[in-house]
Amino acid sequence: MAMTEAATTQQSDEPPIDGRVARRRRNLDAVLDVVLEMFAEDMMFPSIEQASKRSGLSLRSLYRYFADPGELVEAAIKRSQAQAAELTHLARIGEGPFAGRLDDFVSMRLRLYEANGSMFRATIHNAAHHPRVRDEMHKNRQLLRQQFERQFGPELAALPARARMSALEAGNALTQVDSLDLLRRVRNLTAAEAEAVLHDALTALLAPHSFR
């Protein structure tokens, strides 16, 4: 009972959300979700007019939110990244036996690809012409590289310097979303086949004596 009263008191102390602000947020989320749908349809650079037509929001409203299509695409990419943040989480990064860490890592990267592969393709497509999108792409690739290095820190640390650098760079390249897209879309591997490729390749790189 005391917890309920405290929660009620806390809620009553919070300032009410302005209706216009809430409506603007809903409109923004709706149009950005539409842009993400277009990415999934291989429409890599939707125009504001296309987003307006698909979302049902007026051109006038969208031009109040976004100065040009580049801003629209950038905002959609950032929304997708925020939604996928939980997918990249590893609860005990770098801890535990190699086999368990490997399974967790490969499963996580494939989940990330299945959820956000189209967004990554749009990011790569637009990076050449939109510096902020390019910066975001470089930042995300670096974060994924750092995650790989932390997850397999014990194996990398056990290698001589040159072999460590090679294993880190090769393993990172293999598990970036670009490479997963090559396996899944270009090579047309099933999710299970792609998982087996990653599992065996990373084992050969990092723990060759465990290779089955």
Measured distance CA(141)–CA(60) in Å, rounded: 35
Interval 198-206 mean pLDDT: 97
Mean per-residue pLDDT of the chain: 88
Number of helical (H) and strand (E) elements in the chain, helices listed first? 11, 0
Residue 2 has pLDDT above 70, yes or no: no
Q: Mind listing the pLDDT tens digit for each residue in 52-107?
A: 999 999 999 999 999 999 999 999 988 888 877 788 889 899 999 999 999 999 99
**What amino acid occupies position 29?**
D
Q: Within 10 Å of residue 108's Cβ, how many Cβ atoms?
A: 17
pLDDT of 30 higher than 80: yes
Q: What pLDDT is recorded for position 1?
A: 37
Is residue 142 predicted with pLDDT exceeding 70? yes
pLDDT band at 16 (very low <50, low <70, confident <90, very high): low
Beta carbons of 206 and 156 less than 8 angstroms apart: yes
Report, as an integer, the average pLDDT of 195-199.
98
Token digits for 152? 């397999």
Distance (Å, whole) CA 90 – CA 61: 40
Q: Tell me the C-alpha distance between 201 and 211, whole Å.
A: 9
Distance, in Å, from the CA atom of 69 to the CA atom of 147, rounded to the nearest integer, reads 32
Q: Which two tokens stand for residue 73?
A: 């695409």
Q: What pLDDT is stored for residue 72 in this prediction?
A: 92
Instruction: Indicate whether 112 pLDDT > 90.
Output: yes
Close Cβ partners of 152 (under 8 Å, ≥ 6 residues apart): 94, 98, 101, 105, 171, 202, 206
